[in-house]
Amino acid sequence: MRHAPISPDLFVGNRERLRRLLPPGSIAILNANDLLPSNADGTLRLVPNTDLFHLTGVEQEESLLILFPDADDERCREILFLRETSELIAIWEGNKLTREQATAVSGIRNIQWVSELPKFLHRLMCEAKQVYLNTNEHKRAVVEVESRDVRFIRDLRARYPLHDFRRLAPLMHTIRVVKSEAEVELIRKACAITKAGFERVARFVKPGVNECEVEAEFAHEFIRRRGGFAYNPIIGSGANACVLHYLDNNCDCRSGELLLLDVAAAYANYNSDLTRTIPVNGRFTHRQKQVYNAVLRVLKGSIAGLTPGKKWRQWQDEAEEAVARECVDLGLLKPKDLKVKVEDPARKPVKKWFMHGNGHPIGLDVHDLGHLNEPFAPGWVMTVEPAIYIPQESMAVRLENDVLITEAGPVDLMADIPIEADDIEALMARR
C-alpha cells in the first residue's frame, strides 16, 4: 500500500455496525476482487473490493471474510482468510500479509489461509440460520464480467441448496453511506491532495499546452503525495468540455477557451471529486464570467440545500430550477420555459443545458453506495456539481465540491480550493 497505515479501529467499528444489522444466527461472507487479465499473459493491478476493504482494511487478492456473530465457537465469529505466501511468491510478486500483519491491519485475531476455508465453512454453514452473500448492486453498474463473489455464490448454493440465502448489499449500502469521523478525515486527505494538484495546474496552464500535459501535472502532484487518480481524468478545452465523459485529453489548449478540469485524488482508497473550469489564457471574457458566475451561484445554493431529511429528487429539482432561471438571464431559455410542465423530467427545457445529476454520494467508490431514495442524513458526503453546457459557443462550465452533511449544516470539504472567478485569475497570474 502506498498510503500511511490506518488504525484498525476504523474497520473494527465498521464490522460492529454491520453486526447490528444482521438478524440472529446470520453469517456474512465477502470476497476480494479478482486480478483481471489484460492481454497475452498480463494482468491489471488489483482494484480492492471496497466492501471487503471497508470491513477489514485488506487490499490483497484471494482474501475472504466470514462474519458469524452468533457462532458457537467465539474464535469463529470473525475469520479472515488469506492467500498463503511462499518463497517463490515473495520473489516474483513481493511480500504478502502474514497472519500477524493481517491482524494489525484489520483487528481480526483469527487469520487463516484460504486452503483452510472448506473445513471452516462447512462447520459454520451447518450452524447458520441465514447466509448473507455479496454482489454489486449499484444501480448504475453494468455487470458483464462474472465476479469472484458470483462464482462463490453459485458454488455455495449448489452445495447447500436448503439454506436461507440473503442479499448483503442493502446492508452494506446502509452502513457505507454514513461516514465515520475517521472516514471523513481520509476524504479530507484526498481533498487536500486534490487542492495541491489543482493549484499546480492552475499555475501551469497557458495557451499552447496540451491536455495530456495538464494530466501529467496532476499525476505528478498526486503520486508524490501518496495518492492517485480517483477516476479517469476529464481535461477538456473548448468544445471538448461539452462532452460529459471526455477522456481523450489530447488537444492543445487555445487562448480564449475555457478548460474544464474534472480531476481529483484518491487516498487510502477514499476518493474526492473536483471540477473547476478555468480560462486558458488566465482571464475570463465577459461572457465566460457570466456563465461561470451563474453556475457558481447554483453551486452555492445547492451546497446550502444539503440538509438532513431532504431527498435527492427534491434537491435535484431545486438545482434544475436554479439553473433554468440562470439560463433565462443568459439568453439560453425564455421566461415561458420556466412554466413548462412535463410528465417526463428528462424533457424539461433546462435539460438541454444541464442534463446530468447534481451530485452523488462519495467515499470508497466515486459514485459511492447509498440509498438515494432515502432522505439525506448526517454523515453523508455528497458531491455538488451543477453545470451549463453551450456547444454552440464551444463552452461549458461545471463546478464541483465535496460536502459533508451534518445536523449543524453542510460542511464544504473543498472550501479552501479556489473557486471564485477573481481567485482563479489571481492564482493563474502566479504562473
Give 419's pLDDT tier (boundaries 50, 70, 90): very high
**With bands split at pLDDT 50, 70 and 90, how would you rate the model's confidence at 342?**
confident
Catalogue all structural domains in the chain, each as residue range(s) with its CATH number: 9-177 (3.40.350.10), 181-428 (3.90.230.10)
- Position 184 scores a pLDDT of 98
Average pLDDT across the chain, whole number: 97
- Which of 41-50, 100-109, 153-162, 337-346 has the lowest average pLDDT? 337-346
Confidence check: pLDDT of 205 > 80 = yes
Overall average pLDDT of the 378-401 stretch:
98
At 281 the pLDDT is: 98
- 355: confidence class by pLDDT, cuts 50, 70, 90: very high
CA 372 – CA 377 distance, rounded (Å): 11
Q: Tell me the per-residue pLDDT of 303-332, one tens digit each, with 9 for 90 and over.
A: 999 999 999 999 999 999 999 999 999 999
Report the alpha-carbon distance of residue 180 to residue 17 in Å, rounded: 11
Q: What is the pTM of this model?
A: 0.96
Tell me the pLDDT tens digit for each residue of 261-308: 999 999 999 999 999 999 999 999 999 999 999 999 999 999 999 999
Gap between the Cα atoms of 230 and 370, Å rounded: 18
- Can you give 3-27 as a three-state secondary structure string? CCCCCCHHHHHHHHHHHHHCCCCEE
**Over residues 341-360, mean pLDDT:** 94
Calculate the CA dihedral of residues 414, 415, 418, 420 and round it to 10 degrees.
Answer: 130
* The pLDDT of residue 431 is above 80: no
CA angle 421, 363, 48 (to 5 degrees): 130
Q: What is the pLDDT of residue 2?
A: 87
As a whole number, mean pLDDT of residues 216-236 equals 98
In this prediction, residues 149-167 reach a mean pLDDT of 97
pLDDT of residue 345: 85
CA distances in angstroms from 390 to 169, 259, 299, 336, 420, listed in the order given: 39, 14, 18, 20, 21
Average pLDDT over residues 156-182: 98
Cell numbers standing for residue 38:
489484460
Q: What distance in Å separates the CA atoms of residue 164 and residue 123, rounded to the nearest whole number?
A: 16
- Mean pLDDT across 53-68: 98
CB under 8 Å to 219, separation ≥6 — which residues? Answer: 229
Residue indicated by cell numbers 480517483: 230
Backbone angles phi, psi at 211, to 5 degrees: -55, -35
Which whole-number Å values give the CA distances from 344 to 149, 324, 357, in the listed order? Answer: 37, 16, 15
Average pLDDT score over residue span 375-389 = 98
The helix (H) or strand (E) run that includes residue 411 is strand 411-412
Given strand 26-31, what is the order of strands in its sheet? 110-113, 78-82, 64-67, 26-31, 130-133, 164-167
Q: What's the DSSP call for residue 350?
A: G
10-14, long-range: CB < 8 A, 24+ apart? 10/57, 10/180, 10/182, 10/183, 11/54, 11/55, 11/56, 11/57, 11/105, 11/106, 11/107, 12/107, 13/180, 13/182, 14/54, 14/55, 14/175, 14/180
